[in-house]
Structure 1
């Protein structure tokens, strides 16, 4: 049986940035505030830039689900690049309220913010309904990774993508039970960024 990566909680070696910036698209250089909330860890600029280089700069017409939305950096980046619909799911009520405020400020009509459990929200979607599922769970919530990956594999269409940010690398053996396979991987500091596809 393949061994999953051991849970790991990287120490925060530097304070959180007070804001992050959208890198591309119609809201390029727009600043997003970063709240000081437990488990919040915005995706670094370098990682986001690499992810959207992998995906292509134009996400026109895509259906996107940002499951552990946090600051909204990933979801707003997708919307900025033309995604038709971006569902942001966030369990922290204060963070969800902040996301709604940003949606209104940007007049981001394609964005919908939902307060609640990310895995449950994924399981409530129609199978094969998303072009891209963004998974960036809190790194200290190791129990979330496997169910989130399985729910994402069910929700994404056959030629769609799942993005996973994690404290450890996930290879095809570790991903086997989820129904996903590794397409691209990047390590940046304590972050392992994975672009995944549905297994054949």
Structure 2
């Protein structure tokens, strides 16, 4: 899965950072591989999980305005773009990861996506200037980021009516209090990860 915020680059040497690839599984760039940085805490969403998620979103992704709160590899954002999302906004803190995201957008000649470099929670504490139909919340694990992210989204006007909110989190996360207006539509757990899809009521 993606993961980014509060990550650190490999400080063991000055050698170039190695990396891997994410693969787009459907849509106009089906099968396309995009390079990603090998950064501590960066966890691209697996193909299997991504397939499950976008099956859930099958009837909603086309022409949706999407927000990827912790973009990391951009796996979810690029999949949304491949499946004809109208617009995607990516939030990412790590400078080298931001650079890679922008390079990948340029390779695909994308003109309907924007990457914002900086702390995601600080960004979301601002009053929203637009609303989103689909929001991806997939932060680094064990950083306590899910709750404040959900609170900020709900409080500061980021969610369009009937918005869909996807949360990917550690399975043992406890004490999470979500807005009463969020209805749980789908939920699945595999290993140490829980995936949930909510609708803003």
Give the structure 2 partner of residue 130 of structure 1: 132
Kindly indicate whether the alpha-carbon contact (under 8 Å) linking 2:132 and 2:160 is maintained by their aligned counterparts in 1.
Answer: yes
Give the structure 1 partner of residue 20 of structure 2: 18
Kindly indicate whether the alpha-carbon contact (under 8 Å) linking 1:130 and 1:155 is maintained by their aligned counterparts in 2.
Answer: yes
Shift of 1:152: 2.6
Runs (5+) with no aligned partner, structure 1: 1-16
- Between the aligned partners of 2:171 and 2:193, the Cα distance in structure 1 is 8
Corresponding pairs, count: 182
CA RMSD of aligned residues (A): 2.4
Q: Secondary structure at the match of 2:62?
A: coil
Give the structure 2 partner of residue 13 of structure 1: none
Q: Does 1:149 align with 2:140?
A: no
Give the structure 1 partner of residue 65 of structure 2: 63
Shift of 1:120: 2.4
Residue number among 152, 159, 166 corresponding to 2:169 in the alignment: 166
Kindly indicate whether the alpha-carbon contact (under 8 Å) linking 1:24 and 1:80 is maintained by their aligned counterparts in 2.
Answer: yes
- Between the aligned partners of 1:125 and 1:29, the Cα distance in structure 2 is 37
Shift of 1:88: 0.6
TM-score (norm 1): 0.82
Shift of 1:194: 0.8
TM-score (norm 2): 0.81
Shift of 1:169: 6.2
Q: Relative to 1, partners in 2 of residues 1:116 and 1:107: Cα closer, same or farther, differing over 3 Å?
A: same
- Between the aligned partners of 1:52 and 1:44, the Cα distance in structure 2 is 12
The structure in which a higher percent of residues are helix is 1
Deviations 1:12-39 (A, max 9, x none): xxxxx82221111111111122321121
- Between the aligned partners of 1:183 and 1:99, the Cα distance in structure 2 is 30
Give the structure 2 partner of residue 189 of structure 1: 191
